[in-house]
């Protein structure tokens, strides 16, 4: 894996978008930073990125356009992170948030650009590692950190290495078999099963109950008229 690190940057994902064309085309480039001054999440929400306490990483790589289940690439990264944290019993809030004790600890931002025969993927991962309560409370939604949950300080470099290794292996599987190898683990890890789900897919708000995880990683929800609708992106 090709690695680039900054002490401070606006956003590791913005950097990848701007300079990605110069990165090696045949491997993953991982851009990390100690802090981000304009970290952002899905739907352009701000992502709290204080200095030195968390992981802010963007993984840049290319895939063939005909890669199977491409719409669920973000779920693969979510699965990689959940696998690294298995011993803490992480829960996945579909499509790509990881929660501990009902609070968000990790988010994934997936940006795909179609270019010729290829897709350029940038997967931005934010993990609250050693973030203190005082900072977590400033976030507008319930958030936690690994330190807040376990009571001890984590080695961020070691955790990042584990994630990089896990994702490198998972991406190789995904290239060959799509979402299939991740489906069962992902579904087992999902939270809010059987509960009402209310989500906005960028165009419309869908309200229904959890039905199942589609084979390609989409979420099947049962609507009030009993029909099943599959969604591929969502925010509350």
Distance between CA 86 and CA 77 in Å, rounded? Answer: 14
**Interface with ligand BTN, residue 72, by CB under 6 A:** no
Can you give the three-state secondary structure of the chain, one letter per residue?
Answer: CEEEEEEEECCHHHHHHHHHHHCCCCCCEEEEEEEECCCECHHHCECCCCCCCCEEEEEEEEEECCCCCHHHHHHHHHHHHHHHCHHHCCEEECCCEEEECCEEEEEEEEEEEEECCEEEEEEEEEECCCCCHHHHCCCCCCECCHHHHHCCCCCHHHHHHHHHHHHHHHHHHHHHHCCHHHHHHHHHHECCCCCEEEEECCCCEEEEEEEEECCCCCEEEECCCCCEEEECCCEC
Among 41, 208, 217, 218, binds ligand BTN (CB under 6 A): 41
Distance between CA 166 and CA 161 in Å, rounded? Answer: 9
Segment near ligand BTN (CB under 6 A), from 87-95, 120-128, 135-143, 168-176? 120-128
Give min distance, CB of 233 to ligand BTN, in A.
11
Among 47, 94, 182, 210, binds ligand BTN (CB under 6 A): 47
**Interface with ligand BTN, residue 20, by CB under 6 A:** no
- Binding-site size, ligand BTN (CB under 6 A): 20
Among 108, 160, 231, 234, binds ligand BTN (CB under 6 A): 108
Segment near ligand BTN (CB under 6 A), from 21-29, 103-111, 166-174, 223-231? 103-111
Contact status, residue 211 vs residue 205, Cβ threshold 8 Å: no
Closer residue to ligand BTN (CB): 107 or 218 = 107
Give min distance, CB of 117 to ligand BTN, in A.
27
**Interface with ligand BTN, residue 126, by CB under 6 A:** yes
Closer residue to ligand BTN (CB): 157 or 228 = 157
Give min distance, CB of 15 to ligand BTN, in A.
8
**Interface with ligand BTN, residue 40, by CB under 6 A:** yes
**Interface with ligand BTN, residue 179, by CB under 6 A:** no
Contact footprint for ligand BTN (CB under 6 A): 11-13, 36, 39-42, 45, 47, 56-58, 97, 107-109, 124-126
């Amino acid at each position: 894996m090709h690695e680039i690190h900054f002490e401070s940057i606006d956003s590791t994902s913005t950097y990848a978008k701007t300079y990605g064309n110069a990165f090696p085309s045949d491997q993953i480039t991982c851009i990390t930073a100690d802090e981000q001054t304009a970290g952002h999440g899905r739907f352009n929400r701000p992502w709290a990125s204080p200095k030195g306490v968390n992981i802010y990483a963007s993984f840049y790589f290319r895939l063939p356009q005909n890669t199977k289940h491409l719409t669920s690439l973000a779920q693969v990264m979510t699965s990689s992170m959940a696998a690294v944290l298995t011993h803490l019993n992480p829960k996945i809030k579909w499509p790509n948030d990881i929660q501990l004790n009902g609070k968000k600890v990790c988010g994934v931002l997936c940006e795909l650009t179609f270019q010729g025969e290829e897709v350029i993927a940038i997967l931005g991962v934010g993990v609250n590692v050693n973030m203190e309560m005082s900072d977590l409370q400033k976030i507008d939604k319930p958030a936690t950190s690994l330190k807040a949950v376990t009571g001890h300080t984590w080695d961020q470099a070691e955790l990042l290495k584990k994630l990089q290794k896990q994702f490198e292996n998972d991406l190789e599987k995904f290239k060959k078999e799509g979402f299939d190898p991740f489906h069962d683990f992902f579904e087992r890890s999902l939270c809010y099963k059987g509960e009402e789900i209310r989500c906005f897919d960028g165009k419309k708000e869908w309200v229904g109950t959890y039905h199942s995880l589609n084979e390609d990683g989409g979420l099947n929800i049962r609507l009030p008229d009993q029909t099943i609708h599959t969604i591929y992106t969502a925010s509350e």
